[in-house]
Amino acid sequence: MTDSLYKNYCQYKADTDIFTSWLLETAASCGMLIENSAEYGSTQTYDLSCVEYLQLAQVIAGAKVQLPLSIGASVSRAIVLREKCAAEFRNNCPDLASIEGHDHFITVLQNALECLKSTKVSDNANRRSQNIRASQGASAKPVVNDNSLSNRFAAISIKKDDSKAVETECTAKTTKPTVQGVQATISKPQSAEKSDATPNSRMFLDQLFAGFGLLVELNKLRQFIADTWCAYASGSIDSMTAGVTSNSALAEGRELINAFDAVGHPLFSNGKSVSKLFFGLISKQRGQEPWDDTKPFPSFSENVYDVATWTFFSTNGMLRQLLCDFPKTSRKIPTFEVRDAVELRSTKPCKQDASPERYREDQELLHDVVHGLRLANMFKVFPPVKSQIEENLVDMLDTHNVNTLHAFNAQVLLDVRTILSGERHNPFNDWRLAALMSKKNLTKLFEFTSKKSSPYWTKTEEDWAQVCHRETQQYIDDAKMWFPQPGFGQKLSFHYQVNPIAAGLAAYHLSCTMQKVGILVLNRWITVIPTIYLYSILKTMNMPHTPDWPDLDQFLKLHDENSIFIGGRPSNVQDSYKKLRLFFGLSLVYMKNKARSGVRLRSKNGQRQVHCTTPLAISFMNAFQTGCGTPYSLGTVKKIIQCNDSIESLTLLQNAMACEEPKVIFNYIGLSIRSFEFSEQLHRHMEDRLINAGLPSNLTGEYAVLTISRHILNKVVETLEDGRQPYFLEKVASLMADYAKRNGSIACNELRTFSKKMKLDNFKTA
């Protein structure tokens, strides 16, 4: 059996096990009496005939139980992979009875799936229906779909009256690819499905398969994170997207480990010995001695370094050594400074081999990271958002114990640092730019609000903006982490330099906060929308000086034009005038007669609001504000992204975040301030004409923009209806064109500087 064929063989066996378990448990919950069935979790075997597959499916379909998408995907994949294996067996296996048995079982699975297809729904809908039945008092056994359960498919056999043969068992070796080219070899245990196996051997094999499956899934997540940061290094995605999706993958790994521990496998003792056991088994299977104290590596030989990395045994040993260096009961700070890990791993070329030098560098980097977290934990100086790496390594320090979760997070950190070594740009610089830009924009906002007034911008909004400003400053101050002892202080922003995932999370949190503040400023000062309506009309009119304001065009691209223009861009001046009145819910006559400086005008309908068009950012921020334990993870957005596979869900999350990136970092505050400046300039140049039209000359606040824009549009409508050319529209167009030429591209220039997506889009366009 080839390597690729054996991989498909293992996958379809696991998928068939999931489908079979779901059939048995769901049919039992529907009231079907299954003879000779063992209790849930028992090690006894149960002979399930092929005929019973269709019978179980018919019972479930008759009870109107809906097929979850994850189960349907598993059995569909099992059918496809089993057909590939059957085709290979037909070419190489002389046993015709075995070939017919494979073909027969494929038909059985296809018939069962076809019977259940009419009830196929999403997993979320299935869970909701179960919750409804539970709330109504209906007693039903919950349907369990947990990949960490024991491999009960191994206990299924085909009776003689159902098929002419049973499956042929094959033994082969396969090479398992892992992160950074690391490979580990394992052979398929022989006779793993013999029905005469003893309960003890069956339990041992089931636990062994479950542990190996856990390592496989963790390394899949590890490979996804590595690919994510390779994409960042190549310029395909930004650091915020890379940080959030990596943190989500780490959270998924934590869920896998927790589910594995919840089963309570005695062989692994809460997952603590998974790395050590499989490191020894795989090394022995390869015919190599795993333990060699004479080599530079502690506890294991150099030639099995790849196995130690794949099983997280190397990082497990590093962390255990660190706990010996940092006693749990001691609060004394070591008498040495933390090494500059950035220079250590950024200025040297990446070493892909298992050299002792690379191992020492990894050990030194983990020492620096854990030591920094230890000091931060002692002095309680953590930033507002913590990554999974921080949370789990701090948990390791608190419990003074190392388990698979800690080693998994530590290994991911080493992988990311290795990928970014020698790169010219890094997430720390992205975070620093985000922090400085946030502080700069908030400072400009406070300068603006101290000189101008608006009835909508009250003390509540000002205080909230001040809170965001203090949070931004806290990011900068806490990153320094200076301590009073001489010589013990860490360098500036050391924390974000050594942990790229934390830097990406911090930059994303700052950007989402600034987006929220910017949208609030835009809605409270009412400067951008009237300017956009006026700009849209001037662009359609044949004027000598047609304005070109790229920032307004970009704003319309990033937001819903149908919402801003209420059904689409206005086709003429009359349509624009009508939609502007509808947007703000006030009649022009009322505005003209009642507009006074400092007076807040209300209407029954009220004005429309410009909303964020970034659902992921909204979900993450809401989860953060409600105190969610892991706000920046895939679990927060499961209502938005619904997929069966974790890697597929993470990939969709990554793509969606990359699309949202320009919207999150767009400078709404600057655009609002510049729109207000233009309205003041327009008011000064047209003051005489506005006074003659009956409008006060001392309009301030948001109505200086809204009233002027409405008045101009109204006058344009009147003159057009009379068949006359608008007498001052050319002056308005000239003023806007002159202002936009000097200040109309600031936000776009910022996007071209900071947005990865905008750079890629411009490149593709070119």
Determine the average pLDDT of the residues in 428-432.
84
| 665-699 pLDDT, tens digit each | 999 999 999 988 888 888 777 666 655 555 555 55
283: buried, middle or exposed (CB in 10 Å: 19+, 13-18, 0-12)?
buried
**Do residues 718 and 471 make contact, with C-beta atoms less than 8 angstroms apart?**
no
| 214-273 pLDDT, tens digit each | 999 999 999 999 999 999 998 889 999 999 999 999 999 998 998 888 888 888 865 457
Angle at 726 between CA 723 and CA 732, to 5 degrees: 165
Dist CA 255 CA 629 (whole Å): 13
């997207």: which residue's tokens? 241
DSSP reduced 3-state for 60: helix
Q: At 189, is the pLDDT very low, low, confident or very high (cuts 50, 70, 90)?
A: very low
Q: At 746, is the pLDDT very low, low, confident or very high (cuts 50, 70, 90)?
A: very high
- Most trustworthy range by pLDDT among 168-177, 485-494, 510-519, 543-552: 510-519
Q: At 641, is the pLDDT very low, low, confident or very high (cuts 50, 70, 90)?
A: low
Q: Determine the pLDDT at residue 669.
A: 94
Dist CA 115 CA 129 (whole Å): 20
Determine the average pLDDT of the residues in 550-559.
90
Between the CA atoms of 131, 133, 138 and 140, what dihedral angle is there, to the nearest 10 degrees? -60
Q: CB within 8 A of 635, min separation 6: which ones? A: 251, 255
Asked whether residue 185 carries a pLDDT value surpassing 50, the answer given is: no
Q: Determine the pLDDT at residue 179.
A: 38
**Do residues 553 and 478 make contact, with C-beta atoms less than 8 angstroms apart?**
no
On average, the pLDDT of the chain sits at 72
Q: At 499, is the pLDDT very low, low, confident or very high (cuts 50, 70, 90)?
A: confident
| 274-293 pLDDT, tens digit each | 888 888 888 888 887 887 76
């309570």: which residue's tokens? 264
Q: At 639, is the pLDDT very low, low, confident or very high (cuts 50, 70, 90)?
A: low
* Beta strand 183-187 pairing with 173-177: antiparallel
Asked whether residue 600 carries a pLDDT value surpassing 50, the answer given is: no
For 621, phi and psi rounded to 5 degrees?
Answer: -70, -40
Q: CB within 8 A of 253, min separation 6: which ones? A: 217, 218, 221, 405, 408, 409
Asked whether residue 550 carries a pLDDT value surpassing 90, the answer given is: yes
Q: Determine the pLDDT at residue 538.
A: 83
Q: Determine the pLDDT at residue 41.
A: 41
Determine the average pLDDT of the residues in 560-583.
76
């542990």: which residue's tokens? 211
pTM over 0.75: no
Q: Determine the pLDDT at residue 656.
A: 86
Q: Determine the pLDDT at residue 39.
A: 43
| 343-393 pLDDT, tens digit each | 455 555 555 555 777 787 788 888 877 877 777 667 666 667 888 998 898
Q: CB within 8 A of 385, min separation 6: which ones? A: 502, 505, 506, 509, 624, 631, 632
Q: CB within 8 A of 450, min separation 6: which ones? A: none
Asked whether residue 411 carries a pLDDT value surpassing 70, the answer given is: yes
| 19-68 pLDDT, tens digit each | 888 888 888 777 676 654 444 444 445 567 777 888 888 888 877 787 87
Q: Determine the pLDDT at residue 79.
A: 86
